[in-house]
């Protein structure tokens, strides 16, 4: 088996390493699998001749914990983990989660809140002169000033609060090698101001060119409208071809400067990265602790793409992976699948073949690879662009090859499917084969809401598109004599949703004959359009005012309406209907949501599954997006 990277001085001694080039401090357990960012970055550096040691979940309360691997020759690398540490720790209600899927045995409390900042300061107290490079989703989405939901405060760039020198934002494979080469060549970290996909701090703007001056931190702190304007400029400069350098000024003549994003990886580059010698598992030192729960979701799943042109307002992918889709070749994916089938635990089922959006296997149009994505237009919203090429043929060919592999019984698709992109493809071959071969009884899709005013704020297609999809899905199930369900993900309390829209969603659920067992409240995470709406009450796209529900009781009412059949929600639902002046929905008629009075416990009955006008709903396993596959964090819900 390929050896793991060193995690101790004894490992270093066995590998004849006297001093590591990089010590990588991470908030997760050490999992050497390409679904984990630190595994990719460390293996990429190793492939370029650098030595890397992994310091996983150090005790941040003890300064000496950061010295376990000694002082690195070039730099400390820091990542809060595969998930934002605050999302990892807290539900949207701000109550603590009972488990941590990225920690051995699922144990909580092994990393601090705002892990990137804490680790950065821990290192800086001990090693005053060693460069600190931040990476990972937590740093990437906090690279400039941002709203922090958990403290309800407007915060500075994480670069300043962590004491670090650079941020490698986005996926980082290119920028980290350029940083390493510059440091190895003797360049001071303060002079590394020229690498795309990085953020640096400066005392002057001498190193800047063709920059855009964002509103200052003080101006944004004083006026939320200034932050909304700044975010729109940032959003318009997330493209690697057209994005410009951005400058954010702080008090005392301090500047945080963001270079334009890295260029997307070619297919050959993606293949090389995923063909690196990963062990494919968590470090064996965790076995006695029960392993790392997050690995169960990715053990038999395949990543085929990255990037997303879906453009959902509540999703941070635009800021992290970008809107240009990048893919691995069939050959690379098949090599990994064949290795997977040799695993003694493989039972014949590939759990997923996808990425942020499973059915995206190419850029939405060819001009993106020359000119970049459009600044003022989305590919799918409010309707598919006339220049978009909706084509599933490459994905179909890949899935067919995987189905033919020896030992493979079934290939499932569990990543998100964009139903609007699916419908835009005139060739229905993929739709047909999806129904026949790739659904495990339930197809999870994300309409999120059904009221067009809310959907517009979400950046999602009109509800009639979802209705069209449901009808086709039912028709195709009948055609192929399948009995499969659609499980729609729904979101409560998104900016723009009043009690009126919440009631309309409840009526839709009533007509669908479906009661979701779990609902996702909107979760304001850094660097999403929706979070800016939540904080400012302004839609940055047109600077229009947006209704935002922040009162916990009203949020509870909106959530309860989606689960109006649950007897525990009766009082909240009744209050909401009265407040919305919809007492017509209180009664015994079939269109009513609840009876006039709360029924005695013996009269309360669990609603039966089944029925519905265009989809077959289910009562169990309806999914909870806070527990979606850990390796596909969207920074969103």
Would you list the domain boundaries of the chain?
Answer: 9-201+253-258, 473-637
Residue 376 has pLDDT above 90, yes or no: no
Instruction: Look at residue 625 in the predicted model and tell me its pLDDT.
Output: 43
Over the stretch 22-80, which tens digit does the pLDDT of each residue have? Answer: 999 999 999 999 999 999 999 999 999 999 999 999 999 999 999 999 999 999 999 99
Instruction: Look at residue 621 in the predicted model and tell me its pLDDT.
Output: 36
Over the stretch 487-540, which tens digit does the pLDDT of each residue have? Answer: 899 999 999 999 999 999 999 999 988 888 778 999 999 999 999 999 999 999
Secondary structure class of 161 (helix, strand, coil): helix
Instruction: Look at residue 620 in the predicted model and tell me its pLDDT.
Output: 36
Residue 636 has pLDDT above 70, yes or no: no
- Written as six digits, the tokens of 145 are 């000033």
Q: What letters, b where the CB count within 10 A reaches 16 and e where it falls short, cover 47-66?
A: eeebbbbbbbbbebeeeeeb
Instruction: Look at residue 631 in the predicted model and tell me its pLDDT.
Output: 34
Over the stretch 160-170, which tens digit does the pLDDT of each residue have? Answer: 999 999 999 99
Residues 6+ apart with CB under 8 A from 251: 217, 218
Residue 208 has pLDDT above 90, yes or no: yes
Residue 529's CB is within 10 A of a number of other CB atoms, namely 26
Which of 276, 257, 26 minimizes the C-alpha distance to 135? Answer: 26
Work out the pLDDT band at 142, boundaries 50, 70, 90: very high
Mean pLDDT of 389-405: 97
Over the stretch 466-491, which tens digit does the pLDDT of each residue have? Answer: 999 999 999 999 999 999 989 899 99
Q: Mapped to the 3 state alphabet, what secondary structure does 419-480 carry?
A: HHHHHHCCCCHHHHHHHHHCCCCEEEEEEECCCHHHHHHHCCCCHHHHHHHHHHHHHHHHHC
- Written as six digits, the tokens of 163 are 């004491």
Class of domain 9-201+253-258: alpha beta
Residues 6+ apart with CB under 8 A from 521: 92, 93, 491, 492, 493, 555, 559
Work out the pLDDT band at 572, boundaries 50, 70, 90: very high
Which sign, positive or negative, has the C-alpha torsion 519, 524, 529, 532? positive
Secondary structure class of 172 (helix, strand, coil): coil
Which of 560, 561, 447, 463 minimizes the C-alpha distance to 507? Answer: 561
What percent of the chain shows pLDDT beyond 90?
A: 89
Give Cα separations from 582 to 330, 440, 491, 495, 506 (angstroms). 54, 39, 21, 21, 12
Residue 87 has pLDDT above 60, yes or no: yes
Instruction: Look at residue 599 in the predicted model and tell me its pLDDT.
Output: 72
Secondary structure class of 227 (helix, strand, coil): helix
Instruction: State the DSSP code for 29.
Output: -
Work out the pLDDT band at 601, boundaries 50, 70, 90: low
Secondary structure class of 222 (helix, strand, coil): helix
Q: How far is residue 251's CA from residue 131's CA, in Å, rounded to a whole number? A: 23
Quick one: which H or E segment has residue 136?
Answer: helix 136-140
Residue 3 has pLDDT above 50, yes or no: yes
Please, what is the average pLDDT of the chain?
Answer: 92
Residue 81 has pLDDT above 70, yes or no: yes
Instruction: Look at residue 600 in the predicted model and tell me its pLDDT.
Output: 62
CA angle 321, 322, 328 (to 5 degrees): 65
């Amino acid at each position: 088996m390929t050896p793991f990277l060193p995690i101790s001085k004894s490992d270093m001694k066995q590998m004849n390493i006297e001093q590591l080039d990089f010590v990588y401090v991470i908030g997760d357990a050490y999992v050497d699998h390409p679904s984990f960012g630190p595994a990719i970055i460390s293996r990429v550096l190793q492939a370029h001749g650098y030595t890397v040691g992994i310091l996983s979940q150090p005790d941040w309360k003890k300064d000496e914990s950061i010295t376990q691997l000694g002082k690195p020759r070039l730099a400390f690398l820091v990542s809060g983990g595969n998930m934002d540490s605050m999302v990892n720790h807290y539900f949207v209600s701000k109550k603590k989660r009972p488990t941590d899927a990225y920690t051995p045995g699922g144990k909580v409390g092994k990393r601090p809140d705002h892990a990137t900042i804490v680790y950065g300061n821990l290192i800086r107290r001990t090693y005053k002169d060693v460069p600190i490079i931040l990476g990972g989703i937590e740093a990437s989405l906090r690279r400039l000033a941002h709203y922090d939901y958990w403290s309800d405060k407007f915060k500075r760039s994480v670069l300043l609060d962590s004491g670090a020198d650079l941020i490698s934002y986005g996926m980082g494979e290119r920028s980290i090698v350029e940083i390493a080469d510059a440091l190895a060549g003797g360049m001071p970290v303060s002079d590394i101001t020229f690498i795309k996909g990085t953020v640096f701090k400066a005392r002057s703007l001498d190193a800047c060119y063709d920059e855009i001056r964002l509103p200052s931190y003080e101006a944004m702190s004083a006026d939320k409208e200034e932050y909304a304007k700044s975010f729109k400029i940032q959003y318009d400069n997330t493209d690697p071809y057209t994005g410009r350098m951005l400058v954010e000024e702080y008090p005392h003549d301090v500047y945080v400067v963001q270079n334009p994003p890295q260029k997307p990886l070619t297919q050959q580059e993606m293949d090389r990265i995923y063909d690196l010698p990963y062990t494919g598992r968590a470090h064996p030192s965790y076995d006695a602790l029960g392993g790392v729960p997050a690995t169960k979701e990715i053990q038999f799943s395949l990543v085929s793409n990255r990037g997303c042109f879906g453009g959902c307002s509540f999703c941070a992918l635009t800021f992290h992976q970008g809107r240009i889709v990048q893919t691995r070749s069939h050959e690379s994916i098949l090599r990994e699948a064949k290795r997977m089938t040799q695993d003694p635990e493989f039972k014949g089922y590939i759990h997923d073949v996808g990425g942020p959006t499973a059915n995206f296997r190419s850029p939405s149009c060819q001009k993106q690879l020359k000119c970049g994505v459009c600044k003022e237009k989305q590919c799918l919203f409010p309707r598919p662009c006339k220049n978009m090429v909706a084509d599933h043929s490459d994905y179909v060919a890949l899935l067919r090859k995987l189905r033919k592999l020896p030992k493979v019984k079934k290939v499932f698709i569990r990543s998100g499917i964009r139903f609007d992109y699916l419908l835009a493809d005139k060739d229905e071959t993929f739709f047909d084969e999806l129904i026949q071969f790739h659904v495990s009884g339930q197809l999870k899709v994300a309409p999120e809401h059904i009221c067009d005013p809310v959907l517009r704020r979400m950046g999602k297609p009109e509800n009639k598109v979802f209705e069209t999809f449901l009808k086709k899905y039912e028709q195709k199930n009948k055609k192929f004599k399948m009995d499969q369900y659609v499980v729609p993900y729904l979101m409560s309390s998104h900016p723009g949703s009043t009690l009126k829209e919440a009631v309309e969603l409840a009526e839709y659920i009533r007509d669908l004959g479906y009661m979701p067992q779990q609902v996702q409240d909107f979760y304001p995470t850094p660097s999403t359009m929706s979070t800016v709406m939540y904080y400012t009450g302004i839609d940055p796209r047109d600077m229009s005012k947006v209704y935002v529900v922040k009162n916990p009781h009203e949020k509870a009412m909106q959530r309860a309406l989606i689960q109006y059949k649950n007897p525990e929600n009766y009082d909240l639902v009744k209050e909401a209907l009265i407040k919305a002046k919809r007492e017509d929905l209180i009664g015994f008629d079939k269109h009513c949501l609840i009876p006039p009075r709360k029924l005695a416990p013996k009269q309360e009955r669990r609603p039966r599954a089944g029925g519905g006008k265009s989809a077959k709903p289910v009562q169990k396993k309806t999914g909870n997006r806070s527990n979606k596959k850990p390796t596909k964090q969207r920074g969103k819900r």
